[in-house]
Amino acid sequence: MKIIVRTPNWLGDTLMALPAVESLRRHDSGAEVWIAAPPRVRDVFAGPEIGLPLFSGTPGSGANDPLRPASAVRAARFDAGLLLTNSFGSAMTLALARVPERWGYNRDGRGILLTRPVPFRRKEEPVHMVRYYLDLVEGLGFSTVPPEIRLSPTSEETALARSLLLAAGLDPARPLVVLHPGAAYGPAKRWPAERFSALARLLQDRRTVEIAVTGTEQDRPLAETVRAGLLRPAADLTGKTTLRGLLAVAAEAAVFVTNDSGPMHLANALRTPVVALFGPTDPAVTAPFHEPRTILKTEAVCRPCLYRQCPYDHRCLAGISADEAAAAVENYL
């Protein structure tokens, strides 16, 4: 069979879906599995660990939906499509493309468009997203692999990351602590940048470490706040790395400190120790899947709310102190 897999839209979700993708590939070793991934997560599949071809559609097709237009999918003559998204639109695209077998969760009113809709059953206890995607594959009657998420940079990517860190003035002989103060989902997920700065000052005062701040170009104001008033300059890498470049930088870190974000899962896929700061989201659902990891959170009656912006006083994240985070980081140094 020739199968197209529509990945989730977000980096963290895509990484947590990798065991499900691997399960599909191993279930039928003779199948030709293609990946349809939005541009923001496409490089997850560029490394040697996965090695699956990417479906690029046609030039100028939808920036956010790699399955559009349906005519490009139809021209590729896929026998089946696995939807790791829950949207009605993704199922409609496969139907319009006349893909004979269309698989996915029966959600968002799209069951009529799927040839093998898998019932979605809410459970009393939260289910981690890795298990959520594996349950979909099992619901199709396929066997699943032991859940493991693992990535690694290439030698060329490692060399570029080390050059970037050296150019920023960091000493490679000192442990590197990477701070990731952003979160694409929204500001409610972000531990205050001032707390990241206080954490960096504590670590510089107590330990001989180097500090680097990562993120997108839009995170640069956060990086400026983090770097303000430090005992020694921290490297600002915001906007200077691709997704694979960030992977390589995280591989150089002794500890990766981050909000609940895609880069949190990226570092975890390397087995770089992660200190994860959780606010409006539930660690039972989206925590880093592998050890070593430390999860910091404050119990609040309003969490998990899943809001993008906090309408109150952001107590779920404001309750985590810089001292608490510093102690967690020092456990890995």
Q: Where are the beta strands (DSSP E) in 92-188?
A: 101-105, 116-118, 176-180
- Answer yes or no: do 193 and 298 share one domain: yes
Question: Does residue 146 fall inside a structural domain?
Answer: no
- State which residues form the domain around 67: 2-139
- Answer yes or no: do 159 and 130 share one domain: no
| Residues 196 and 257 sit within 8 Å (Cβ to Cβ) | yes
Q: Final residue of a domain: which of 74, 104, 139?
A: 139
pLDDT of residue 187: 83
Q: How far apart are CA 128 and CA 19, in angstroms?
A: 13
The alpha carbon torsion through 50, 53, 55, 56 (nearest 10 deg) reads 100
Q: Final residue of a domain: which of 77, 105, 139?
A: 139
Token code pair at residue 168: 């920023």
Q: How many CA atoms lie within 13 A of 186 on its CB side?
A: 12
- Answer yes or no: do 198 and 239 share one domain: yes
Structure letter (DSSP) for residue 146:
P
pLDDT of residue 215: 97
- Answer yes or no: do 134 and 201 share one domain: no
pLDDT of residue 64: 60
- Closest by Cα among 95, 88, 97, 103 to 27: 103
| Residues 290 and 40 sit within 8 Å (Cβ to Cβ) | no
- Answer yes or no: do 181 and 90 share one domain: no
- The whole-model pTM stands at 0.94
pLDDT of residue 68: 67
pLDDT of residue 59: 40
- Answer yes or no: do 183 and 221 share one domain: yes
- Answer yes or no: do 174 and 265 share one domain: yes
pLDDT of residue 257: 98
Token code pair at residue 301: 């009656």
| Residues 329 and 199 sit within 8 Å (Cβ to Cβ) | yes
DSSP string, 211-249: EEE---GGGHHHHHHHHTT-SSPPEE-TTS--HHHHHHH
Low-confidence ranges of the chain (pLDDT < 70): 57-65, 68, 305, 310-311
pLDDT of residue 321: 97
- Answer yes or no: do 314 and 171 share one domain: yes
- Answer yes or no: do 11 and 116 share one domain: yes
Question: Does residue 149 fall inside a structural domain?
Answer: no
For the chain, the domain total comes to 2
Instruction: Give the CATH number for residue 301.
Output: 3.40.50.2000
pLDDT of residue 62: 47
- Closest by Cα among 41, 39, 87 to 21: 41
Q: If residue 305 lies in a helix (H) or strand (E), which one and from where to where? A: none
